[in-house]
Amino acid sequence: MGWLRKILLFPILLINVVVAAALIACAYSQCLPPEHIGLLSLGGLAFPFMLAVNVAFLLLWLLFYPRYMLASLVACVICITQIRAFLPVNFSRQDPPEGSIKVVSYNLLSWTLNIPSPLEGNPTIKYLDSIDADIVCLQEFAFAELKKMGRHSDILSQYPYRSFDLSGNGEWTSRYLGCLSKYPILSVEQIDLFTTANGCQKYRILHEGDTIVVYNCHLQSNNLNTEDKSNYEQILSDPKGKLRMQSTWSILDKLADAAAKRAVHAHILLEDMERENAPYVVLCGDFNDSPISYTHHLFTKRLDDAYIASGNGPGISYNRHKLYYRIDHMLHSSAFDAYTCRVDHTFGRSDHYPVSCYLKKTK
């Protein structure tokens, strides 16, 4: 019966090896420049699924045939850095020390869900007023609400320093970036990403005699329209449906094109950081990319990811159309230590959740 059992288990073992290899390929797809590789660079999007299947195999073998765990176990060890990036676990750094700076990043979805309310009673205004942050970076302001915010100095009065510089071309469809601060904003500079719908602002903020350079960015969107998102949901619910092949390739092409543009944006921002050569740097915003992506990989060569260092769990920050990924990030230079980085799932007015973190200057 031993040889019969081996024959029956061989197909399962073969599938296990293939899935283990796929996990490694997805994990290290973040090293592939999307402007040259295209679709292959999107492997990071499949990483959570490949990880789940490998964990299932590990549990299966552990219960029945522990000696067959090797393929998935080796794959997980090889991908330990990416597993930690996707699913960090941190028991320390949960209590921010005195003197920490609370930074919040939030994509407002152009206030679309909130505009019917008067600005004074707006739920998002109330939320921003309640979180007691030191620096708040906002993406996707609607133009009308942006102008109102500039006129009402009594709203969010705990943030006396504000910047509502435009990153778009003045049309209501453009994305706008804003900064609310308890500390003086010394200067504001727009980083040209060569796009009218996305952008980045650089703020120099004075804190206890030091200048903190904060980059607030909204990188290239994936440009998936309503039909694409509807087709994606149909593909998930009916993988063998008629829409499967044509819609899948259309969506993947758009994702690959957007990833290539974000890679260009990342290089532009990194070059600016090199010229700035500042010890205290914070980069936050809507990256439109997961932690297993080329853009995130580039940034973390220079900066530390606050969520990986002090967050827990997958930290999903996008909450619509079954596209559940952490695409809003907060990174910082080594002159900071991060504490209690979290994605606030209690406030869901936008299609993004707010991301917050405490940053403490290192000695």
pLDDT tens by residue, 247-258: 777 788 889 999
In this predicted structure, what is the pLDDT of residue 93? Answer: 85
Is it the case that residue 173 has pLDDT exceeding 50? no
Given strand 328-332, what is the order of strands in its sheet? 185-191, 199-207, 210-218, 281-286, 328-332, 304-305
Taking only the tens place, the pLDDT of each residue in 160-171 is: 998 876 544 444
In this predicted structure, what is the pLDDT of residue 17? Answer: 96
Helix (H) or strand (E) holding 61: helix 47-64
Can you tell me the distance from the alpha carbon of 173 to that of 181, in angstroms, rounded to the nearest whole number? 26
In this predicted structure, what is the pLDDT of residue 170? Answer: 46
What single letter denotes the amino acid at residue 76? Answer: C
Can you tell me the distance from the alpha carbon of 74 to that of 57, in angstroms, rounded to the nearest whole number? 12
Is it the case that residue 190 has pLDDT exceeding 80? yes
Please report the DSSP string for 201-270 in residue order: EEEEEEETTEEEEEEEEE-------HHHHHHHHHHHH-TTSTTHHHHHHHHHHHHHHHHHHHHHHHHHHH
Is it the case that residue 279 has pLDDT exceeding 50? yes
Higher pLDDT, residue 92 or 144: 92
Confidence of residue 152 (pLDDT cuts 50, 70, 90): low
Is it the case that residue 113 has pLDDT exceeding 50? no
**Least-confidence region, from 15-19, 165-169, 170-174:** 170-174
Please report the DSSP string for 156-183 in residue order: TTT--EEE--B-S-SSTTS-BEEEEESS
Is it the case that residue 73 has pLDDT exceeding 50? yes
CB-based contacts of 167-175 (< 8 A; 24+ apart in sequence): 167/198, 167/199, 167/200, 167/201, 167/218, 168/196, 168/197, 168/199, 169/196, 170/143, 171/143, 171/196, 172/142, 172/143, 172/144, 173/197, 174/143, 175/110, 175/139, 175/140, 175/141, 175/199, 175/218
Is it the case that residue 174 has pLDDT exceeding 70? no
Beta carbons of 323 and 232 less than 8 angstroms apart: yes
Which CATH number does 101-361 carry? 3.60.10.10
> What integer is the mean pLDDT of 112-116?
48
Q: Domain ranges for the chain, please list them.
A: 2-86, 101-361
Q: Nearest 5 degrees, angle CA 275-CA 332-CA 304?
A: 110
- pTM value is 0.91
> CA torsion 220→224→226→232, rounded to 10°?
-140
Phi, psi angles (nearest 5°) of residue 103 = -115, 135
Closest CA to 263 of 82, 35, 26, 30: 35
Confidence of residue 125 (pLDDT cuts 50, 70, 90): confident
What single letter denotes the amino acid at residue 63? Answer: L
Please report the DSSP string for 124-159 in residue order: HHHHHHHS--SEEEEE---HHHHHHHHH-TTTTTT-
Helix, strand, or coil here: 122?
coil
Q: Is 267 exposed, middle or buried (0-12, 13-18, 19+ CB in 10 A)?
A: middle
Which segment, 56-65, 108-117, 147-156, is predicted with the most confidence on average?
Answer: 56-65
Is it the case that residue 116 has pLDDT exceeding 60? no
User: What is the DSSP-derived secondary structure letter of residue 44?
Assistant: G
Taking only the tens place, the pLDDT of each residue in 223-242 is: 776 776 776 666 666 656 55
In this predicted structure, what is the pLDDT of residue 156? Answer: 82
Query: Tokens at residue 345, please?
Result: 């799932």
Helix, strand, or coil here: 115?
coil
